[in-house]
Structure 1
Amino acid sequence: MSDPTSPHRFGHVAIVGRPNVGKSTLLNRLVGTPLSIVSPKPQTTRHRILGIATFDGAQVAFLDTPGLHLGGKRAMNRQLNRVARQVPDEADVIVHVISAPRWTEEDEQVWSVVSRQKVPRLLAINKTDRVKEKGELLPFVAKLAESHPYDGVHFLRATHGDGLEALVADVVARLPEAPPQFEPDELTDRSERFLAAEIVREQLMLRLSDELPYATTVEIENFEQKGDLARIAAAIWVEREGQKAIVIGAGGEQLKAIGTGARKRMAHLFGGRVFLELWVKVRENWSDDESSLRQFGYTE
């Protein structure tokens, strides 16, 4: 129970880190719903995703970010890194997520961004279940702290929710005193149209081979709500004709499986029935074209 005499707290919390350390999984656990898409592949997150968590006496606007990464010279890579670098500027608290027990060159790049911010900076060491010798963690943290002065350290297993209660308590204690900015039942500032596109892209990330998902994006061409039925038409964009054939699959089976998986996720998230139509279209090298990135919503 919260203390009714304590002031209410509200603030923005940036979740940052290199690709594939579990930032989106952490966000989904914190807000209690699969808001940000998740796959085993790095660079799944391409947008700034705001997830709202309302507690007794506090409301937190968590900001999931694309993973800050090295390499990748295309316009898409540059845009993802721009978003990753900008989001900490909006934050009242920063949570830097790493994967236990590693510290990579990309982690150091994230620290270079985090260290410039004049707000509390917490280190969240995720995937601790993968560390066989738990005694390795404390020396790892002690050595890291010598040159990286975080304000707090937390050990997490975000997939199971382990360590989240202590992390939330630490975050809330560091937020400014302020009234809530969102209704108690709000989970995000993103539209259902945006979430529908992300859910289709999630299926592409999960079902296609390692490289092909990075050549795909999704554009919602029509979203019509009638009662509890959402009619959604979406275009899957690829960069070459050969990729189109792979996404469709023999006899259309791959595209059918993508649509079925996406429709089930949408029905669960939106709380109603979904009729989903998918097409596959080709635009040469869209991911290296600034005008295409603007059209597909990557530069908002």
Structure 2
Amino acid sequence: MAQAHHDSHDANVYYVPHGSRWPVIASVALFTTMIGFAFWLNDEPVGKIVFFLGIAFLAAILFNWFRDVIRESLRGFYNKQVDTSFRMGMVWFIFSEVMFFAAFFGALFYARTFALPWLTGEGQKVATHMLLWPGFTGGWPSNGPGDIGGVYNTIPAWGLPLLNTLILLSSGVTVTIAHHALKAGHRKQLLLFLGMTVMLGALFLYFQAHEYLHAYKELNLTLGSGIYGSTFFMLTGFHGAHVTLGTIMLAIIWFRCAAGHFNRENHFAFEAVAWYWHFVDVVWLGLFLFVYVL
């Protein structure tokens, strides 16, 4: 009876799935991942295993959860109210991501604009310098007192970072062209430019991995390189994680477009991923300017 009611849902009524087990199971997977990561950071041998088991568990849950959402959408369960709810949910999600990165940009701004001038006695802050840390020397980029982590070199902005900036800006153009192609009903153009966006995202990640290897092996720039190293890798690393997630989502949307899941009027899943990708682009522009250039 429950299945019959599920399949005969009135499209004029706001659809609410009943008895979904995914939120509870996803919470267990996230908790497992967090515990594994905590153990890993504390050099417990089991930590890495538990962490990756949690990640695999979470990926399997998300796959099945979104599979159910896609099926509900294709069966026509979602009306305009549900569409509005999805849009508002995506807006608030992106807003939370903005706040997430704002915290790290804020840490970078505070360290450069306030903390270091106070500690080094720049400008009129000599008295503060003498009070807080008379023996502290050095400016930005700083690796702290005593060269924490050793002497390092920074990554020039006009090499790989500039190339990655051009790649991400290009991907923003290709996903926009793909969106217009979808609304115009040009299926081949849609698949071509959306596929180009996926490849550009993967290319960005390849160059970022190359940059990280270069930083660790040749520049001695690591997470342990004082405030500069920690903020650099936290900002670029979390951004890379978002690019990875966005590239995966774009690839899934490509397969859904190839399967004919969207039309000119109903394609919010595509729009949501496009919004997310543009957000990733904007964050990188801020990173390029404040981390690499300035």
TM-score range, shorter chain: under 0.3
Higher alpha-carbon Rg: 2
TM-score under structure 1 length normalisation: 0.24
Q: TM-score, normalising length from structure 2? A: 0.24
**More strand, by proportion:** 1
Higher normalized helix content (fraction of residues): 2
